[in-house]
Amino acid sequence: MLAGTAPPAAASAPQEPVRITRFLGEQRVPHMDKLGGTTVGGLSGFDRDPRTGVWYFVSDDRWRYNPARFYTDRLAFNRKTGDFTGVRLTGVTMLYRPDGTTYPAYGKPGSADPESIRVDRWSGRLLWGDEGDRPDESNPDIPISQPKVRGMDVEGRQLAEFPLPSNLRFEDAESGPRRNFGFEGVAVTERAVTAVTEGPRFEDGPTPTAERGSMTRLTVWDRQGRVRAQYAYPLDALAAPPNPPTGLTDSGVSEILAIDEHRYLALERSWIQGVGYRVKLYEIDVRGASDVLGRDSLAEADTFRPVSKRLVRDLGEFRPPVQNLEGMAWGPRLAGGECTLVIGSDDNFSEEEVTQFMAFGATGCP
């Protein structure tokens, strides 16, 4: 066993892997829809409260239209047939800083970039992931706003802030996470809170290309907010090179979702100039993975063990062209015993993209 590697769990009944059984339907929110004086869009993360059936959707609008906020919603399923029949937005709530003010706009000190939201049913609070911001060569004047995982009540008032590991702090120099590679996905279980950075830190190697993948990091806190461990997540190589070859690419993990205390679903999403979006759904397992919290670099992959990955489904098979899929949550269980998995897209407030929610029947889920 590699040094610093988590031991396998004690022997127990075999755990069934998550499998997609069928497609249940698609629903969309109209482009630039309005609710409560706000413009609906940029829905980058969502979750369902199993106690009430209410869904929470966080927008990554950075005051292009309105302050940082989340929406409540109702998603309708026929529990007998599984048909996904509707989406109805019901309310909007701003996100508040500890002093009771809303977050400043993009490019201002202290701004927020909300990317994920989770219902913590064990504490009654909501958790949300802030990707933060930092300067880079193209945006040298952007002030640093550190990535964070925060707790809030259903009125948007901050209740907690999780400590940030020092290796995930944004810096002015080329160290730490790259711009737009802060916390992108958050998951919560009875014992832990987990967040994933979208892509590699400078020290962890270059971003993925068509020839090779890269490494990003999962950070795990205990219920008291103490950092418990950090694991390496191996990102795929790009599905295709950009066109032209010098074109832009953006690839990483856009969301994670807990299956149990050790396993998660992960959305790996890439945007490739001249090609479009590519998204795959994986099941990952941290058991047996090395704790890399104290490791400054992940560039030498043969010196540690990353989390294991199993492909669940290439999401390009549904409703092509594939959209900017950024959100994922468990829905209600169906009468026949299947659970439902909802995966949704962030439209970036663009007329060329859509706010789409696809629902699937699944087995092997919580």
Give the pLDDT score at 7. Answer: 54
Mean pLDDT confidence for 186-197 = 98
Angle, alpha carbons 276-149-190 (nearest 5°): 105
Q: Model pTM?
A: 0.95
Read out DSSP for 125-160? EEEEEE--B---SS-TTPPPB--EEEEE-TTS-EEE
Look at residue 207 and tell me if it is in a domain. Answer: yes
Look at residue 299 and tell me if it is in a domain. Answer: yes
pLDDT in tens, 230-270: 999 999 999 999 999 999 999 999 999 999 999 999 999 99
Q: Which structural domain range is residue 248 located in?
A: 27-363
pLDDT in tens, 324-353: 999 999 999 999 999 999 999 999 999 999
Look at residue 182 and tell me if it is in a domain. Answer: yes
Look at residue 4 and tell me if it is in a domain. Answer: no
Domain count, the chain: 1
Look up residue 94 and give its two tokens: 């701003």
Angle, alpha carbons 62-63-68 (nearest 5°): 65
Q: Which CATH number fits the domain that encloses residue 229?
A: 2.115.10
Q: Phi/psi at 350 (nearest 5 deg)?
A: -105, 140
Look at residue 72 and tell me if it is in a domain. Answer: yes
The answer on pLDDT for 84 being more than 90 is: yes
The answer on pLDDT for 10 being more than 50 is: no
Look at residue 97 and tell me if it is in a domain. Answer: yes
Look at residue 137 and tell me if it is in a domain. Answer: yes
Look at residue 8 and tell me if it is in a domain. Answer: no
Give the pLDDT score at 12. Answer: 47
Place 319 in a pLDDT band, splitting at 50, 70 and 90.
Answer: confident
